[in-house]
Structure 1
Amino acid sequence: MSQRDVYEQKLRAKLEEWQAEIDLLRAKARSAAAESELEKEQEKEAERLEKQRDEMRERLNKMRDASDDAWDDLKEGAERAWGSISDSFEKARSRFK
């Protein structure tokens, strides 16, 4: 094998090594992008859950200040809201494990 052939093989091997590094960088970039999207989705979910939590807190405040007659009606609404929030938290917990 001539020196030229040896040199060419050495360059081709280096090019293949660089291509592997480029492929690895691209894979990391795709992974980071996916994680970034997941983080955005988690943040949106957290904001939605906080809004539901705030609504529940408002219901509890209304219940505390309500008359005895209104309390039963508020309690029923609060129980429905509580069930909805509980479901939302369970779904989020399962989804983002």
Structure 2
Amino acid sequence: MSDREAYEKKLQAQLDQWQAEMDKLKAKAEAASADAQLEYQKQIDKLEEQRQDALKQMEEFQEAGDSAWKDMRAGMESAWASLNESLEKARSRFKK
């Protein structure tokens, strides 16, 4: 398996994990009071937007030529770290 293939599998696994986490947050939001649901939904919507951006980046990465994917990697990792941080913040808010 090439470095690129391994990296793509890592990215897909991360996307799958984020989706599972977001599904858990959605379930918690549904069980919350009406006022809390509104706040939770705002956070979930923001996370979904970031996840869609990450998915788009992954698709662009998959379409990139062999020489370009390494250059794209640093930018992707920064964006993905931002999404992961947002997910962690939302998760901590949902625990309150």
Q: Same fold, TM exceeding 0.5? A: yes
Q: Which runs of 5 or more structure 2 residues have no equivalent in the other structure?
A: 1-32
Aligned to 1:50: 48
Root-mean-square deviation (CA), in Å?
1.5
Equivalent runs, 1:1-97 vs 2, <5 Å: 35-97=33-95
Q: Deviations over 1:3-57 (max 9, x none)?
A: xxxxxxxxxxxxxxxxxxxxxxxxxxxxxxxx32211010011010000000000
Q: Which runs of 5 or more structure 1 residues have no equivalent in the other structure?
A: 1-34
Q: Which has the higher contact order (CA 8 A, sep 6+)?
A: 2
Larger radius of gyration: 1
Percent identity over paired residues: 40
Alpha-carbon shift at residue 71 of structure 1 (Å):
0.8
Alpha-carbon shift at residue 74 of structure 1 (Å):
1.4
Mapped to 1, the partners of 2:71 and 2:39 lie a distance apart of 35
Mapped to 1, the partners of 2:77 and 2:43 lie a distance apart of 22
TM-score, structure 2 normalization = 0.62
Q: Which has the higher helix share?
A: 1
Query: What one-letter code is carried by the residue in structure 2 that aligns with 1:61?
Result: E
3-state SS of 1:69 partner:
coil
